[in-house]
């Protein structure tokens, strides 16, 4: 599997990632590190404790990192959570809806990890 095929498998945006990182070798290096980021785990933990500041910080970090890597679905989902908890914004989702969105992010992340593991052979 090529890196471009990986991006097709995980519904990522290869061209966006290359635009940001410029070199496929650098993209390969960073996509292999996604599993160790612990960004999703931090968001899940923050949501479990209903800590608005931590939820925002975790989702905002995910949004940026995953956008840079062309993981557009994960980035967009994280952006919705970050906007929900952005200081100064009024909440529009119930805690249950937020929990559902976080669960959807977990599922998307697992699909992404499965694709990355198939790509790396691990």
Whole-prediction pTM: 0.91
Q: How many CA atoms lie within 13 A of 22 on its CB side?
A: 0
**46 pLDDT above the threshold of 90:** yes
How many domains is the chain partitioned into structurally? 1
Report the CATH number at residue 61. Answer: 1.20.120.160
Each residue's pLDDT tens digit, 83-102: 999 999 999 999 999 999 99
Predicted pLDDT at 13: 97
Over its C-alpha atoms, the chain yields an Rg (Å, rounded) of: 15
Each residue's pLDDT tens digit, 71-86: 999 999 999 999 999 9
Could you list the residue range(s) of the whole structural domain that residue 84 is in? 3-120
**Residue 4, burial from CB neighbour count under 10 angstroms (0-12, 13-18, 19+):** middle
The rounded percent of the chain whose pLDDT value lies above 70 is 100
Residue whose C-alpha is closest to residue 3's, from 20, 33, 27: 27
Q: If you ran DSSP here, which 8-state letter would residue 38 be given?
A: -
């Amino acid at each position: 599997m090529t890196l471009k095929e990986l991006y097709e498998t995980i519904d990522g945006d290869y061209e966006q990632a290359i635009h940001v990182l410029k070199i496929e070798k650098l993209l390969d290096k960073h996509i292999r590190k996604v599993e160790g980021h612990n960004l999703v785990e931090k968001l899940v933990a923050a949501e479990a404790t209903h800590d608005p500041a931590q939820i925002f910080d975790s989702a905002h970090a995910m949004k940026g990192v995953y956008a840079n890597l062309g993981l557009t679905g994960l980035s967009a989902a994280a952006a919705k959570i970050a906007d929900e908890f952005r200081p100064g914004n009024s909440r529009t989702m119930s805690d249950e809806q937020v929990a559902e969105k976080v669960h959807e992010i977990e599922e998307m992340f697992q699909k992404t990890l499965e694709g990355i593991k198939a790509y790396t052979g691990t």
